[in-house]
Chain A
Amino acid sequence: MSETNSDCGCKKATLTKEVPAPSVSRRNLLLKIGAGLNAIAAVLVGVPLLGYALSAFTRTSKNSWISVGPLAKFPEGETRLATYRNPISKPWDGDTAEVPCWVRRIDSQSFQVFAINCTHLGCPVRWFQESRLFMCPCHGGAFYEDGSHASGPPPRGLFEYQHKVESGELKVLGGHLPTLAEPLKKDDM
């Protein structure tokens, strides 16, 4: 590099003649080390951040048996609203921890327990005793008293809980919001 080509035009042109080659490569080396270290740092921070943020993605539902009330609450041949407290609730859940469901007592020993959520898009279905239908207020879905689809857009019958009678109480296996991807019974797809 001659003095005329030097863009700084400074007097130490002879020095710059020797310095450039090693300084450029050292700078590149430092840049590479710096970038590499930052990549490691990014992984160290990023992986736990993503793990935290997406933890719900891999979390599976932990259902547990929970009472919806004593058998005496459910007269034979009738369908009644029952509620239970979400078994995985947190102190700040407030009212949202209360979960409603429809209990149909067919006879003294047989029950059906339906989720409140319409299978179309999850709105709360209402029981109509006289017409013996569940009707949904959102998009007009209707279900017969046994939960099967009667009319409207729902793609299937109501979601049904697994249930058992234990020491005079009706218990259901609850703990997650039923959706088409995850109904309440494993074999109920």
Chain B
Amino acid sequence: MLKSIALWLEDRLHIAKLFESTGGHKVPPSTNSWFYVFGSGTLLCFVLQILTGTLLAFVYQPSAGQAWSSLQYLNNEQFLGWFLRAVHNWGSIFMVGIMSAHLVQTFLFGAYKYPRELTWVSGCCLFLCTLGMAFTGQILRFDQDAYWGLGIGASIMGRVPFVGAQLVHLMLGGAMIAGETLSRFFSLHVFLVPGLIIALLSLHLRLVLTKGINEYPKPGRVVKKESYAVEYEEMIQKTGVPFVPNVIGKDLIFSACLIIAIVTCALVFGPQGPSGPPNPTLIHTAPAPDFYFLPIYAALALLPAYMETFLLLVLPVVLLAILILLPFYSGTGEKSHRRRPMAVVIVLLAFLTLGLLAYLGTYAPWSPHMEAWSSAATPAAQVQGRSPLELQGAILLQSKQCRNCHALGGEGGLRGPALDTVATRLTGDQLIRQVIQGSGNMPAYGKNLRPAEVTALVAFMETLRPSYQPAARDSSKH
């Protein structure tokens, strides 16, 4: 009975033939390696995102007025709503992570070289689409961060020459961040970009079948356009093994571990947000992006202002062009990273740069600590034994909000230098000048402080040095 059903299905669907050309296709035995599991891992994440996303859309309201409360409902009232939100969030984090690993692995193994140019190009486009999903998804979590994230996106668009204003309108669906904005980001996140991903993914997988998977590179085995295709075909004929069942084992183990990791993170850390409601009049907020965009957030604070627009609009295009066009200017030659030191250096540099920027982004030393002036205590050692005038200065340093940018005893903003030892660096005259006129990143306070206030403030700061270090002195006066 079962056999006859199977035979009937086989007769109608030609399953054996389909299997032979897909799952059962022959791959080089060298690809049976733990380095080759990231592609299928990314695909699995994508499937998980579709599943959880579709289910979240059962409840989520893509309306600016109600999105935030529907997220609260998902978190607190819908059965397992919090869990699905958490899995969707962690799924996206893992997807970006595993996909980056896939990108780095294919780069280091020279998989982009002849004849797999299109595989690489479609993969890069998939990577961009995935980052697009991360950004639009962050907007759908329609909270304060999402609102001001849109403001940042619009401000970047507004820097485009000639059509800036029009691009802002196109992005926001109007002149303001409002109902239409969320609706179009919903459509992008749920229909347009996933559709594009499925199309690109089909192309990507089709190419894996037609052009074969990259063999594990051996140092010294050089890709030549004249001979590579024939050699690869010969190798497959001689030693090729079917992907299923010979090679898929490691993918399966990795996939299962991946799912377990995502579910564990979801259970332990729970869903992310939403933070405060998307009400722009609640301005006591410090918007910060999700972790994927922390490097950009940091770069935007640290870039020199005069070249910022250029770097914002031109540099990403140039970098992406270099990445996507890689197989067209480096399509042959050595594949193994052991013979491509520059490739290794580039990967290390990219990781260092992104990692360092992301680390800085987590504590944003460039941002004033908005509450430091009213919440941070003055260290006892810095007020003990001070004269009334100096104490007056200590109070002024607090009340004039100096500590939003300057730390004392490790508390306060990091925007300007900490003041604990300022008297060893600047003389009284220099302090007065700096306070009144400002310089560098420090605003001028001349208009906001009365002369007596400046005197008191500087008198206090002149005491800020350790006993074992002399005060700064004006060398012209001796």
Whether the Cβ atoms of B176 and A175 lie closer than 8 Å is yes
Whether the Cβ atoms of B280 and A138 lie closer than 8 Å is no
Q: Is B158 located at the chain interface by the 8 A CB criterion?
A: yes
A174 to chain B, nearest CB (A): 9
Whether the Cβ atoms of B169 and A57 lie closer than 8 Å is yes
Cα distance, A139 to B294, chains bound together (Å): 12
Q: Is B134 located at the chain interface by the 8 A CB criterion?
A: no
Cα distance, A176 to B166, chains bound together (Å): 12
Cα distance, A56 to B159, chains bound together (Å): 18
Whether the Cβ atoms of A142 and B151 lie closer than 8 Å is no
Known contacts A94-B64, A176-B176, A182-B158: does B168 contact A135 (CB below 8 Å)? no
Cα distance, A159 to B5, chains bound together (Å): 73
B:151-183 near A, CB below 8 Å: 151-152, 154-160, 164-170, 172-181
Within 8 Å by CB of A128, from B63, B179, B404, lies: B404
Cα distance, A123 to B285, chains bound together (Å): 9
Cα distance, A154 to B366, chains bound together (Å): 13
Whether the Cβ atoms of A88 and B175 lie closer than 8 Å is yes
Interface size on B, residues (CB 8 A): 70
- B156 — nearest CB in chain A belongs to which residue? A121
Known contacts A151-B441, A179-B164, A182-B168: does B176 contact A138 (CB below 8 Å)? no
- What 0/1 readout, one digit per residue, does chain A (39-82) give for beta carbons within 8 Å of chain B? 00000000000000010111101100000000000000000010
Within 8 Å by CB of A179, from B66, B168, B309, B442, lies: B168
Within 8 Å by CB of A93, from B64, B160, B167, B303, lies: B64
B:96-132 near A, CB below 8 Å: none
Whether the Cβ atoms of B178 and A122 lie closer than 8 Å is no
Within 8 Å by CB of B280, from A61, A116, A120, lies: A116
Whether the Cβ atoms of B179 and A153 lie closer than 8 Å is no
A130 surroundings in chain B (CB, below 8 A): 373, 399-401, 448
- A101 — nearest CB in chain B belongs to which residue? B281
B:436-478 near A, CB below 8 Å: 438, 440-445, 447-448
Within 8 Å by CB of B172, from A56, A116, A121, A155, lies: A56
Known contacts A88-B174, A150-B438: does B279 contact A96 (CB below 8 Å)? yes
Known contacts A57-B169, A88-B176, A151-B443: does B158 contact A137 (CB below 8 Å)? no
Q: Is B46 located at the chain interface by the 8 A CB criterion?
A: no
Q: Is A36 located at the chain interface by the 8 A CB criterion?
A: no
B286 surroundings in chain A (CB, below 8 A): 137-138
Cα distance, A118 to B194, chains bound together (Å): 33
- What 0/1 readout, one digit per residue, does chain A (176-189) give for beta carbons within 8 Å of chain B? 11011110000000
Cα distance, A98 to B179, chains bound together (Å): 12
- B303 — nearest CB in chain A belongs to which residue? A153
- B399 — nearest CB in chain A belongs to which residue? A130
- What 0/1 readout, one digit per residue, does chain B (268-295) give for beta carbons within 8 Å of chain A? 0000000001111101111100000000
Cα distance, A137 to B369, chains bound together (Å): 8
- A181 — nearest CB in chain B belongs to which residue? B164
Whether the Cβ atoms of A179 and B283 lie closer than 8 Å is no
B: residues with CB less than 8 A from A are: 63-66, 68, 147-148, 151-152, 154-160, 164-170, 172-181, 277-281, 283-287, 297, 300-301, 303, 305, 308-309, 366-368, 370, 373, 399-402, 404, 415, 438, 440-445, 447-448
New A-B contacts (13) at CB < 8 Å, excluding given A116-B283, A123-B148? A56-B180, A94-B66, A96-B147, A96-B178, A133-B401, A136-B367, A137-B370, A138-B367, A153-B301, A153-B305, A154-B305, A177-B176, A181-B168
